[in-house]
Amino acid sequence: MENILSVRDLTVDIPLAAGTLHAVRGLDFDVKRGETLCVVGESGSGKSLTSLAIMGLLPKQAQRSAQVLDFEGIDLQKASNRDMRKLRGNRISMIFQEPMTSLNPAYTIGDQLIEALLLHRKVSKSVARNRAIELLEKVGITAAANRIKQYPHQLSGGLRQRVMIAMALMGEPDLIIADEPTTALDVTIQAQILRLLKDLQRELNMAMILITHDLGVVARVADKVAIMYAGEMVESGSAAEVFTAPKHPYTRGLLNCIPVPGKTAVGEPLGSIPGIVPSLIGDVTGCAFRTRCSEATPQCSADIPARVPSEGHFYRCVHDYDGPASPSMNLPKSEEA
Amino acid sequence: MLVYTLKRLGLALLVTLAVSILSFALLYLSGDPAAAIAGETANADDIEAVRIYYGLNRPLVVQYGEWMFNAIRGDFGESYYFKLPVSQLVAERLSVTMLLGLCGISFALLTAVPLGVAAAVRPNSIIDRVALFLSVTGQAIPSFWFGLILIVLFSIKLRILPPSGSDSWQNFVMPTIVLGYYAMPAIMRLTRAGMLDVLGADYVRTARAKGAGEFRVMFKHALRNAIIPVVSVAAVQMGFMLGGSIVVESIFALHGAGYLAWESIGRNDLPTVQALILVFSMFYVVFTFLSDLLNAWLDPRMRVG
Amino acid sequence: MTNTTETINAVAPKVEPEVLSGPTPRQVLLAKVLGHKGLMFGAIALLIIFLMALFAPILAPYDPYHQNLMHRMVPPVWDAKGSWDNILGTDHLGRDYLSRLLYGARISLAIGAVAALISGIIGTTMGVAAGYFGGRVDSCVTFLINVRLAMPVVLVALAVVALFGGSLEVVITVLGLLLWDRFAVVMRSATLQLRSMEYVTAAKAIGCSTKRILLSEIMPNITNSLIVIITLEMAHAILLEAALSFLGLGVQPPTPSWGLMVSEGKQMLLFQPWMIAIPGVALFILVLAINLLGDGLRDVSAPENRS
């Protein structure tokens, strides 16, 4: 199956007073129809900027460049504002993190849903209205015909996020980008929303990029995983592969942080990765993770080679890792460092 | 919603009542109205005669009661000067003032809102600095002086506008500008700040992600929310403008209610002054009430019971 | 393990805790103040006008009340018919305009300051009481504020001055008794905000009396807003007095109020525009300076309050 979205060497730079912030540095990834790619990273890793870069919604000062930024044959870099507008909400839709503030408080959800369709299709308002009701029901909102007249402030966070999803689907997109769609929601609602997204994706055969910092989410929905650290992709591959055979020290560190009932010994301190993300302002060389890596060597400050240990599995590291991936990995405890 | 409206209405009435009591007390207690009416050359007997004639020797509460009782039925007494019913006088002149006020606020809105939007869309640009400059200087110019300068410029030097009178629409151009410019800085700043706030809001980002064009984003989504506080301020300013009309109308000799107020004060025509204070405060109260309603209509979140 | 530690240290050396050097908070504030153009312009201009007013008896070349009917309506020195005897010309009664301008500064500043002070005391007391005690006190004060806002200020001021007779004292008193509304509103909301803040609750928890809480916890934090409002209301009072005097119901002639000077010059609008231009410009600069100062103080003390 062909790739819907292909990205090679995506870079986002933001000029600041203190220097240029290299927020996203040379990302490569592809997404196919029906496939879910999870982009994982902590705050500041550049994952949200990546999604905005694809949509063309970066802030004015930001500079985007890429070798390939292709959506279904359309070169997104060359696309004018007008062309991008035709794609947004139509063939590529986006769902954001904050359902509480992502809907316009002055208009009914019906108005906003209808607008999402009418921007791209010449249909009558009643047709759009019916489709809105249909989609609201599909995302699990009961009494949709009444809800349509309600204002955002009359709905709970979970409901608003469902509305956002419905709105993203109005244009029947080929690709959905969901930026931490469940982070701001209660844990119980999270599971529902994720299941909903997955079902919809399957039904409508869409490609989905889901951005998150929560490995639990990844485990639930991902087909492919891309681990981002400090603006770079440090490991990527199928979800099964990355979870069972993680190669990059960061990935292994992340997985080690998750306590596994039955495997993690009682009384043992939970794993953590000491240190903080380094500054990306000004020139950045070598591996950005080396300041926190227990396996760092002096070579880590030079260029880092890409490694492909198996088909579709990629990571960047100076070292070739062959060790175990279980949670009881031998990472140094904080007192010993 | 209905209960809320009624409550607000009741409060508004109370405020108007309080204003009328206060002003009545102020007028009839500051100095001796009878002496003021009788004039400087009157002697004690004349003053006493005046006092009895106008019923000013009765207790204040009684005087107020009688006035209020009549006022409710629309009878504001008779003007000491014109010997005409005050209600008639005021009604005649009020239309001019209302027209002037409407023009003034329209002028202020039509200049300040676009300027504020433009300044917010391009912060720190030339237009932003111009807007800021205009707002800072606008607040510092005395209105009466501004009026005179405009007269010098447009009536004397350029001769394109008449300096006084109220016959044609040209008479209203300069008074509108003078009345409106004072409200401009506040409205412009509020629009600018509101837009800056709103343009960074998440729902604006959502609108863009839906594929909406810049104009739609700016007006349908952003301004629609940013304008809400401006509406309140504009309504309040409208109320103030009625008071400000005194200066403007006297400079340009427009025979409106403000001018009448000034004349009546000069002539110690207390019933007219009292009636005008009541009318002006009622208008203010009505405008703030309307702005509350408008607010609720514009911002669905305010429509709590 | 040691190997790892050495490796880490080689690649990422230990971070020493930094001894923070650099400017103190006070120095930072001073730098902000000095760098704020509006604030500096306003402060300096206001200072100049204040000094002019203070030293008016020394600076004024003539007595502002002295009439010289032989030299009426002399234009300022930059006009062809002007002379250095009267740098800013003379008015319709032959009084030197520069002298009247300097003494007029006294009137404007005095009115601005005293009226703002009176209304400030009234408004702050009401506002803080409303914000702190809440409940019925708050409802009462809010109602009074609404009543005051509903009153047409100019109209009422005119009427009262007309009935009490125009003079400096009457004007100051009337303005002081009318301009307290913004003080009350702002002080009330500032106090409300503070009341819910935790250090007030903490103070209460250790048994501080109401008065002590008000004075030592709340007041220092609302002085910022207070100073800004004082400047704004000063400007407001100055403009109002000028308008009242212009309409003939403020300060009475022959006192050199700038508003009165504009009114007197109004008769000669056609031929001697300088007579209204000069006092008008003076008013403009004074009010502008005060406004810039107030805005600047607001910016510097809390940039997020910038409107």
d(CA C247, CA B193): 36
pLDDT in tens, C166-207: 888 889 999 999 999 989 998 888 888 777 776 667 777 777
Select from A279, A287, A291, A292 the residue whose CB has the most chain C CBs within 10 Å, as the one to mutate to test that interface: A291
Strand partners, A237: A225
> According to the model, what pLDDT value does residue A103 have?
92
What's the gap in Å between the CA of C299 and the closest CA on chain B? 14
Q: Say yes or no to pLDDT of C114 above 90.
A: yes
d(CA B61, CA B278): 17
Which positions in chain C touch B190 (Cβ < 8 Å)?
307
Q: Judge: A55–B207 Cβ closer than 8 Å, yes or no.
A: no
What's the gap in Å between the CA of A94 and the closest CA on chain B? 6
Q: Reduced to 3 states, what is the DSSP secondary structure of residue A151?
A: coil
Residues with Cβ within 8 Å of residue A294, at least 6 apart in sequence? A249, A331, A332, A337, C4, C8
> According to the model, what pLDDT value does residue A334 have?
32
Q: Is C7 in the A-facing interface, judged by CB distances under 8 Å?
A: yes
Which positions in chain B touch A105 (Cβ < 8 Å)?
203, 225, 299-301
Q: Reduced to 3 states, what is the DSSP secondary structure of residue C93?
A: coil
Q: Judge: C8–A296 Cβ closer than 8 Å, yes or no.
A: yes
What's the gap in Å between the CA of B206 and the closest CA on chain C? 26
Confirm if A288 and A231 have CB atoms less than 8 A apart.
Answer: yes
Q: pLDDT above 90 covers what percent of chain C?
A: 21
Neighbours of chain B (3+ CB pairs under 8 A): A, C
Residues with Cβ within 8 Å of residue A98, at least 6 apart in sequence? A184, B202
> According to the model, what pLDDT value does residue C288 have?
93
Which candidate, B272, B276, B274, B197, places its Cα nearest to that of B229? B197
Which runs of consecutive H residues, i.e. helices, occur in chain A? 47-55, 81-87, 109-118, 125-138, 144-147, 157-169, 187-204, 215-221, 239-244, 249-257
Strand partners, A228: A233
Nearest CA in chain C to A337: C5
Q: Which residue has the higher pLDDT, A244 or C110?
A: C110
> According to the model, what pLDDT value does residue B165 have?
74
Residue type, B174: M
Select from C7, C9, C14 the residue whose CB has the most chain A CBs within 10 Å, as the one to mutate to test that interface: C7
Residues with Cβ within 8 Å of residue B264, at least 6 apart in sequence? B79, B81, B272, B273, B276
Tokens of B267: 């002539």
**B136, B151, B247 member nearest C292 (Cβ):** B136
pLDDT bracket for residue B304 (50, 70, 90):
low
A331 by Cβ neighbours in 10 Å (0-12 / 13-18 / 19+) ranks as middle
Q: Say yes or no to pLDDT of C145 above 50.
A: yes
What pTM was computed for the model? 0.78
Nearest CA in chain C to B191: C307
What's the gap in Å between the CA of A202 and the closest CA on chain B? 22
> According to the model, what pLDDT value does residue C1 have?
47
Which positions in chain C touch A295 (Cβ < 8 Å)?
4
Residue type, A12: V
Q: What is the mean pLDDT of chain C?
A: 82
Which residue is listed with tokens 């600041």? A16
Q: Say yes or no to pLDDT of B110 above 90.
A: yes
pLDDT bracket for residue C16 (50, 70, 90):
low
Select from A102, A150, A163 the residue whose CB has the most chain B CBs within 10 Å, as the one to mutate to test that interface: A102
pLDDT bracket for residue B108 (50, 70, 90):
very high
Confirm if A320 and A307 have CB atoms less than 8 A apart.
Answer: yes
Q: Say yes or no to pLDDT of C35 above 50.
A: yes
Q: What is the mean pLDDT of chain B?
A: 84
Q: Reduced to 3 states, what is the DSSP secondary structure of residue A12?
A: strand
pLDDT in tens, C48-71: 999 999 888 888 888 888 888 887
pLDDT bracket for residue B305 (50, 70, 90):
very low
pLDDT bracket for residue C211 (50, 70, 90):
low
Tell me the average pLDDT across B208-231. Answer: 89
Q: Judge: C163–B11 Cβ closer than 8 Å, yes or no.
A: no
What's the gap in Å between the CA of C280 and the closest CA on chain B? 6
Q: pLDDT above 90 covers what percent of chain B?
A: 11
pLDDT bracket for residue C284 (50, 70, 90):
very high
Q: How many other CB atoms are there within 10 angstroms of residue A336's CB atom?
A: 10
Task: Find the range with the poorest average confidence among A219-233, B7-21, C36-50, C292-306.
Answer: C292-306
Q: Judge: C11–A336 Cβ closer than 8 Å, yes or no.
A: no
CA angle A12, A248, A328 (to 5 degrees): 135
pLDDT bracket for residue B54 (50, 70, 90):
confident
Q: Judge: C162–B265 Cβ closer than 8 Å, yes or no.
A: yes
> According to the model, what pLDDT value does residue A325 have?
55
> According to the model, what pLDDT value does residue C304 have?
45
Whether residue C152 is preceded by a cis peptide bond, meaning omega within 30 degrees of 0, is no
Kindly provide the residue ranges of all beta strands, DSSP E only, lying in C125-246, ordered along the sequence. none
Q: Judge: A337–C10 Cβ closer than 8 Å, yes or no.
A: no
Task: Give contacts of C 284-303 with B, CB under 8 A.
Answer: 284-285, 287-288, 291-292, 295
Nearest CA in chain B to A84: B211
Which positions in chain B touch C306 (Cβ < 8 Å)?
193
Q: Is B304 in the A-facing interface, judged by CB distances under 8 Å?
A: no
**B30, B152, B288 member nearest C160 (Cβ):** B30
Q: What is chain A's pLDDT, residue by residue, as a tens digit (337 residues)?
A: 688 899 999 999 998 888 888 888 888 899 999 999 999 988 778 888 999 999 989 888 889 999 999 998 889 888 888 899 999 989 999 999 888 889 999 899 999 999 999 999 999 999 999 999 999 998 888 888 898 999 999 998 888 999 999 999 998 899 999 998 888 888 888 888 888 888 888 888 999 999 988 888 888 889 999 999 888 888 888 888 888 888 888 888 888 777 766 666 777 777 777 777 777 887 777 788 877 887 777 877 777 777 877 777 888 887 777 766 554 333 333 333 3
> According to the model, what pLDDT value does residue A209 have?
94
Which positions in chain B touch A54 (Cβ < 8 Å)?
none
Residues with Cβ within 8 Å of residue C237, at least 6 apart in sequence? C111, C112, C115, C116, C119, C175, C176, C179
Neighbours of chain A (3+ CB pairs under 8 A): B, C
> According to the model, what pLDDT value does residue A182 have?
85
Which positions in chain C touch A337 (Cβ < 8 Å)?
4-5, 8
> According to the model, what pLDDT value does residue A264 have?
67
Q: Is C8 in the A-facing interface, judged by CB distances under 8 Å?
A: yes
